[in-house]
Amino acid sequence: MVASYAQLLARRYRGKLDGDADDFIGFVVDGALRMQQLINDLLTFSRVGTRGKAFAPTDCTAVVQRVLGNLNVAIAESGATVACGPLPTLQADDVQLGQLLQNLISNAIKFRRDDPPEVRVTARHDDSAWVFSVADNGIGIDPKYAERIFVIFQRLHTKADYPGTGIGLAICKKIVERHGGRIWLESQPGAGSTFHFSLPEREEIAHEQPPQPD
């Protein structure tokens, strides 16, 4: 509502009042859109625990295909290529797995360098877990920020440089931890990033209950 009227104000009065008014209208529109995004992301974050589904056999390749469909505009606009290696079927919440992969792939596209983004999604089996990797050729991250980026609201860039609420990776971490795994980063500035996360294998149990929310 707020964002809509802000945009209506902008549409009707931009250029018709003075320069200050145009600036102020701009701040109102940006602020309203940002608040909306923040509320949505916070709801998603809090619902990871409260609205998680029971784990069921999940075809990860199908999840990635669905995610790429959601991201088709960003992929087209950036000229991104997303390659996907063979992925397992495992016990998981398929909606949350989709959110997790969508956040990671969308970040890989967003934080790109001048070249078109190249993203690779792969998985390998390790002990009793599957370790997924989402690798990109983007701007990279200084290893000293490797823990901090998963903390909610912690960002490395201003909103002017890259849009975002600073909640995406916190959501990823919460989802991975709900599944009993962990998430970590391998990166160097200017040399791309690879996000790894592990998902432990689970016995398929008829009425498995996921871990209780914390």
Partner 1 sequence: MSSPHSPIRILLVEDNPGDVRLTIEALKDGKMDNPLDAVRDGIEALAYLRQEGIYADTPLPDLILLDLNLPRMDGREVLAAIKEDPRLRQIPVVVLTTSRAEQDIVKSYHLHANCFITKPVDLDQFVEVVRGIDNFWLSIVTLPPGSAR
From the CB of 155, what's the least distance to partner 1, in Å? 4
Residues of the shown chain interacting with partner 1 in the complex, contacts defined by CB under 8 A: 23, 27, 30-31, 145, 153-160
From the CB of 212, what's the least distance to partner 1, in Å? 26
Nearer to partner 1 by C-beta: 120 or 155?
A: 155
Nearer to partner 1 by C-beta: 124 or 148?
A: 148
From the CB of 135, what's the least distance to partner 1, in Å? 23
From the CB of 210, what's the least distance to partner 1, in Å? 31
From the CB of 17, what's the least distance to partner 1, in Å? 15
Nearer to partner 1 by C-beta: 145 or 184?
A: 145
Nearer to partner 1 by C-beta: 30 or 94?
A: 30
Nearer to partner 1 by C-beta: 160 or 206?
A: 160
**Three-class DSSP labels, the chain:** CHHHHHHHHHHHHCCCCCHHHHHHHHHHHHHHHHHHHHHHHHHHHHHHHHCCCCCEEEEHHHHHHHHHHHCHHHHHHHCCEEEECCCCEEEECHHHHHHHHHHHHHHHHHCCCCCCCEEEEEEEEECCEEEEEEEECCCCCCHHHCCHHHCCCCCCCCCCCCCCCCCHHHHHHHHHHHCCCCEEEEECCCCCEEEEEEEECCCCCCCCCCCCCC
